[in-house]
Amino acid sequence: MTFHIHGDASQRVLICLHGFMGDSGDWDGFADAFSSRMPGWQVVAPTLPGHDAASHDEWDVFGAIGRWMDSRGLAQAVIAGYSLGGRLGLRLALDDPQRFPVFVGISTTAGIGGAIERDARRVADHGLAERLRSCADRESFQAFLEEWWAQPVFSSPYPRESQRQAFLESRLNKSSVRLAEALERLSPGVLPSEWERLAAYPGKVLLLSGEADAKFTLISNRMQELFRDAQAHQLIAAGHQLLVERPAEVAAIVAEFLYEEQPQAAQ
């Protein structure tokens, strides 16, 4: 995994995990806005396995992040994630709440609880992965990406053609074969559900969703009820892709949350 770092070395670190088919650059707009509000913090955005130019990946996301922190002497960090990255970040927080005492989930979920639903998702994601592997040229890959962008879950109250073009241009530089492997390995049909573990998490939680993203707003509200200490915010007139649609607003909410919840670190 590669790590993109915003800001100077600091003991106040926010680690941000991107969604499927994304990369560390998805957090650039957020990081710029966050750093202007919280100059004492460092934003670290890894690119997840299968999503960068490396020919081989270590698929142990959790171990890689821990080793990166160890190499810099970091005892703690805030962990944040969007969509897929939120599921991975949540597992890190639940596995080691002392190291990750704060979790920020953006348009994300705790996984799929039911065995039947998990099996169905695993099969569906395998089918999508096979389609990705069949993209033999740039044109077929672009056709897949066009369909992906057009999914109802990604609809926005204020769609912008420039955002669609930026999505296509950035994703076309990736390997469809390696994305297929990432889809299968990191599918919520493969990774365990975390729903039953939420109530035991002792840390602070912030959950963000777009008001127009009905599915993930319901999930966010359900997660909030299960955590011991969680806040849930819905961004008005926004959809699922909050890092694309409203990065500065997301950054402002996260900065305010960290300032209030960790005054000893943020002030």
Q: Give me the residue spans of the domains in the chain.
A: 2-112+192-266, 116-185
d(C-alpha 187, C-alpha 181), whole Å = 10
Q: pTM for the complete prediction?
A: 0.93
**What DSSP character marks residue 191?**
S
Residue with tokens 């960068």: 52
Distances (CA, A) of 224 to 72, 92, 205, 207: 32, 18, 8, 7
Among residues 113, 126, 142, 3, the alpha carbon closest in space to that of 68 is found at: 3
Domain 2-112+192-266 CATH assignment equals 3.30.950.10: no
3-state class (DSSP) for residue 79:
strand
pLDDT of residue 53: 67
Give the tens place of pLDDT for each residue, 179-208.
Answer: 999 999 999 999 999 999 999 999 999 999
Half-sphere exposure of 24 (CA within 13 A, CB side): 16
> From first to last of its 267 residues, what are the pLDDT tens digits of the chain?
889 999 887 779 999 999 999 999 999 999 999 999 998 899 999 999 988 866 566 788 999 999 999 999 999 999 999 999 999 999 999 999 999 999 999 999 999 999 999 999 999 999 999 999 999 899 999 999 999 998 888 888 887 888 889 899 989 989 999 999 999 999 999 999 999 999 999 999 999 999 999 999 999 999 999 999 999 999 999 999 999 999 999 999 999 999 876 533 333
Phi, psi of 30 (to 5 degrees): -60, -50
pLDDT of residue 27: 97
